[in-house]
Structure 1
Amino acid sequence: MHLSTVETLLEYRVREPSHFCFNLEAAHWPGQVIVSEELVVDPPLPRRAFGEGDSGNRFFRFDAPPGVVTVAYKADVEVHGEPVAGDLAEAPAGALPDALLRDLLPTRYCESDVLCGFARAEFGHLPPGLARVRHIVDWVHRHMAYRPGSTTSSTTAREALEQRAGVCRDFAHVAITFCRALNIPARLVAGYVWFDEPPQDFHAIFEAWLGGRWVLFDPTGMAPVDRLVRTGTGRDAKDVAFCTSFGAVELARKLVTVLEHDPRGGTAAPAPLATGLVAA
């Protein structure tokens, strides 16, 4: 069990009447217990919360007038990791549950149909199962450079692969694309986790369906996956964006902090408050 304190502060400059939808609260997810949490929107605008199927994703939305809007969220969350057996098998497409078929299909950011030939040439000869997915993860880690600013919110897996660089969401998108091209269901997972560098931010990893369960992987190698505080699960980044805005909106400040606590008491890995500050 790992206990983390996560905190987010977002400041927006709203140029015209706009609408916001956020997905930054800790998800309602098996193995994840929200001990306490607080959400503050300033000014205190009327907002509506809703969930999304069995994903555990939690959204809230509101209308905002022109001016400055800040959203602050803080939570203490217990994450209970589940050990992974080393012999997990892939399932034939015909044996997959109906709900998982969508996690085999190409999406806007994961063009598994376009990269199918590449994926099959590179990984198709490997024995199916957990070891093959780990090989994909290792390949992405070795062949792509983690380079903040090298991609944008519209960069796809194919584009990130062509330039062999990106950030965490690009690493995850490429790995997801390779898995789907090999008929392995895969999806994006977003959340909070502590890591040494770069500065703290939301983090994206992925999970693949193996042995009748979802298994987490992080192609960046930046942090242990069993410590991630999950906020969103979806087919790609568009499903788990921390904010979707409709209108003339500018992100002026983003501050993300994560503090991991030693189960025996005390703090195991403090994240300095200023390190997550980004000026837009």
Structure 2
Amino acid sequence: MKFKVQAEMTYTANTAGTLILNINALNNATQSVVAEELRVTPEMDEEELKDIAGENRLIRMQISEPCNIDISYHATVDNGWRLVDMSGIKETPVHQLPPEVLTYLHPSRYCQSDKLFRLAHNMFGDIDNPFVTVINMVEWIYTNIQYLSGSTNSETSAFDTVTEQAGVCRDFAHLGIALCRALTIPARYFTGYAYKLHPADFHACFEAYIGGSWILFDATKLVPLNGMVKLATGRDAADAALANIFGDIIFNTMLVNCTLADDAFKPFYYTSGSLQGISYS
């Protein structure tokens, strides 16, 4: 399924500095960037960086003097999702997990799975199929946590979200990740462009490692699961930030959009009794 994505951002640099952006669609074995263009005004030194796992595609820009910066990114992307049969799946013992997955079992800055261990086990610990377990977690988050714009900030953690019972997409994702890890289900943060998200913005959800595949979940239920264009994954939002700023550089404005480039689109959501998971990996 092909989508057209767009990001327009403006900054004011009061001094020389460095800006690292994470707005370029990921280009890997399962998601193909058909065409793209990045324009930065004024022109400056820039380079593309990739992390070792290949799950973040960064642009580093060196700002030599004070200026106003306009950034424009346009791309056509084939998101390459697939359905995975989750019937009869059993939890994978830790000693059988791939080494690269183990880091997604540990507590992280925003996902304190150690603090939510008892809650996770009391509510979801008696379900045999890990996919069904996560589906139940997502339903609980959706039912019990109010989606409330402006209710949280960059310091809000999964533990805070349980306490306040309100949050935005990144908080819903962090809570899902923390509950999964508390049950020894590896989970990671997923951010990207989202089709049919209103108002249009970057969107956060999470992936759980089940049956040898990274399966996508979105506790907000704001967008169809097959309407995502992946930007990055990480332990939590700190690993997949859209921008990292070094120097006296002020963010001003942002416009984000994701539209359909194909003729037809059939939205996919998990429903009660779902036993097919969607994967972007």
Q: TM-score, normalised by structure 2?
A: 0.90
Could you list the per-position Cα deviations for residues 28-50 of structure 1 after superposition, in whole angstroms to 9, with x for gaps in the alignment? 23321111000011111111211
- How far apart are the structure 1 equivalents of 2:253 and 2:103? 35
Instruction: Provide the aligned C-alpha RMSD in A.
Output: 1.7
Q: Is the alpha carbon distance of 1:219 and 1:268 closer, same or farther for their aligned partners in structure 2, counting shifts above 3 Å?
A: closer
After superposition, the C-alpha distances for 1:116-148 in whole angstroms (9 at most, x for unaligned) are 121111211222421011101111111111111
Partner of 1:277: none
Range that drifts further, 207-216 or 48-57: 48-57
Specify every segment of 5 or more residues in structure 2 that has no aligned partner in the other structure, as ranges.
Answer: 268-281
User: Aligned partners of 2:197 and 2:34: how far apart in 1?
Assistant: 25
Preserved contact between residue 172 and residue 188 of structure 1 (Cα < 8 Å): yes
Equivalent pair of 1:205/1:218 in contact (CA under 8 Å): yes
Counterpart CA distance in 2 for 1:86 and 1:97 is: 19
Deviation at 1:262, TM superposition (A): 3.4
Task: Tell me the residue number matched to 1:278.
Answer: none
Match of 2:202?
202
Offset, 1:196: 4.6
SS at match of 2:83: coil
**Which residue of 1 is the match for residue 233 of structure 2?**
233
Q: Which residue of 2 aligns with 1:29?
A: 28
In 2 relative to 1, CA 70–46 (structure 1 residues): closer, same or farther, beyond 3 Å? same
Between the aligned partners of 2:19 and 2:44, the Cα distance in structure 1 is 11
2:194–2:258 Cα contact (<8 Å) kept: yes
Contact 1:81 1:227 in 2 (8 A): no
Secondary structure at 1:103's aligned position in 2?
helix
Residue 242 of structure 2 aligns with which residue?
242
* 1:165 paired residue number: 166
Matched residue SS, 1:24: coil
Q: Which residue of 2 aligns with 1:92?
A: 93
Q: Are the equivalent residues in 2 in contact too, given 1:4–1:77 (CA < 8 A)? A: yes
Match of 1:144 in 2: 145
Structure 1 residues 140, 61: CA separation in 2 closer, same or farther (over 3 Å shift)?
Answer: same
Number of the residue aligned with 2:66: 66
State the 1:70 CA deviation: 1.6
Distance 1:268 1:226 in 2: 9
CA–CA separation in structure 2 for the residues paired with 1:181 and 1:104 = 8
1:45 aligns with 2:34: no
After superposition, give the CA deviation of every residue in 1:38-72 in whole Å (9 maximum; x if it has no partner): 00111111112111123332111122222211211
**Identical columns (%):** 35
Q: Which amino acid aligns with 1:46?
A: D
CA offset at residue 268 of structure 1?
Answer: 9.6
Q: Please give the secondary structure, in 2, of the residue aligned with 1:84.
A: strand
Report the residue type matching 2:171 in the other structure.
D
Distance 1:20 1:213 in 2: 33
Report the CA distance between 1:73 and its aligned residue.
0.5
Deviation for aligned residue 1:176: 0.2
* More deviation, 61-70/164-173: 61-70
Paired residue secondary structure (1:226):
coil
Partners of 1:268 and 1:225 lie apart in 2 by 11
Q: Contact between 2:76 and 2:261, CA under 8 Å: does it hold in 1?
A: no
User: 1:84, 1:221 → 2: CA distance?
Assistant: 20
Structure 1: 5+ residue stretches without partners: 270-280
SS in 1 for 2:150: coil
State the match for 1:273 in structure 2. none
CA deviation after TM superposition for structure 1 residue 191, in Å: 0.5
Q: In the alignment, what sits opposite 1:120?
A: 121
The answer for the alignment partner of 2:54 in structure 1 is 55
Give the length in aligned residue pairs: 265
For residues 73-131 of structure 1, give each alpha carbon's deviation from its aligned partner in whole angstroms, at most 9, with x where no partner exists: 00001122211213233211121111111000000010011111211112112224210
Q: Shift of residue 25 of structure 1?
A: 0.4
Give the TM-score of the pair, scaled to structure 1: 0.90
Give me the whole-angstrom Cα distance separating, in 1, the residues matched to 2:255 and 2:18. Answer: 21
Paired with 2:83 and 2:230, the residues of 1 have a C-alpha distance of: 17
Match of 2:80 in 1: 80
